[in-house]
């Protein structure tokens, strides 16, 4: 949890305090931006812009919410705005695209099952269409409601629910080999249980 005195010093222009805030919160900000855009290079550029915006907006931080919550909201908003600019989320309610089943190279084994599972899930999420990936990330990973997502993306609540259903269905198919669940009749299972 960020020390409020560190935030205060950063607001006053203390570079060491700013560096401390960045060191403490950058991993989470980088992760949320990467999950939203799915492209490492683009995510790095957006994350850099997010931090510029955070430091510029520091004087407006009133402390009504935790600092981590405040910067998280800035990161999500900035990432979505940037994605719109580069037309990665040109049309959120897109047709569901069928793709090949996720292939994992046998030579790329990881040190642990947890790392393997995390990498497999990340690869599967990157295969979602931009709209489905954005809604899935905002709802299932970040915890936003469909109403909040609809407002953020300028879509209907039903559109958000539809994209989430499409994302979950595709992830079930892409990840079925990992959990040894047949893809037919898996409607009741939820990817978040994986």
Domains of the chain (ranges; CATH) run 1-88 (1.10.1740.10), 94-194 (1.10.10.10)
Predicted local confidence at residue 102, as pLDDT: 40
Residue spans of the chain under pLDDT 70:
1-2, 86-114, 179-194
Closest CA to 93 of 162, 165, 38, 142: 162
Q: What is the pLDDT of residue 183?
A: 47
Distance (Å, rounded) from C-alpha 14 to C-alpha 30? 23
Helices (H) and strands (E) in the chain, counts: 8, 0
Looking at every residue in the chain, the average pLDDT score rounds to: 78
Q: pLDDT (tens digit, 9 = 90+) per residue, 106-155?
A: 444 435 666 777 778 888 888 888 888 888 988 888 888 999 888 888 88
- pLDDT of amino acid 179: 65
In the prediction, which pLDDT does 113 show? Answer: 65
């Amino acid at each position: 949890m960020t020390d409020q005195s560190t935030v205060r010093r950063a607001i006053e222009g203390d570079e060491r305090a700013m560096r401390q805030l960045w060191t403490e919160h950058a991993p989470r900000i980088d992760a949320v931006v990467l999950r939203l855009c799915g492209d490492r290079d683009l995510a790095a550029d957006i994350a850099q812009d997010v931090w510029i915006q955070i430091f510029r907006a520091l004087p407006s931080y009133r402390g009504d919410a935790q600092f981590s919550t405040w910067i998280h909201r800035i990161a999500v908003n900035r990432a979505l705005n940037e994605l719109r600019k580069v037309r990665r989320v040109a049309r959120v309610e897109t047709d569901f695209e069928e793709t090949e089943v996720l292939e994992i190279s046998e030579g790329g084994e990881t040190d642990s099952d947890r790392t393997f599972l995390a990498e497999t899930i990340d690869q599967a999420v990157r295969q979602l269409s931009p709209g489905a990936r954005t809604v899935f990330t905002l709802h299932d990973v970040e915890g936003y409601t469909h109403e909040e997502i609809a407002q953020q993306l300028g879509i209907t609540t039903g559109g958000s629910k539809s994209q989430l259903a499409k994302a979950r269905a595709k992830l079930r198919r892409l990840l079925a080999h990992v959990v040894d669940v047949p893809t037919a009749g898996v409607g009741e299972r939820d990817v978040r249980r994986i």
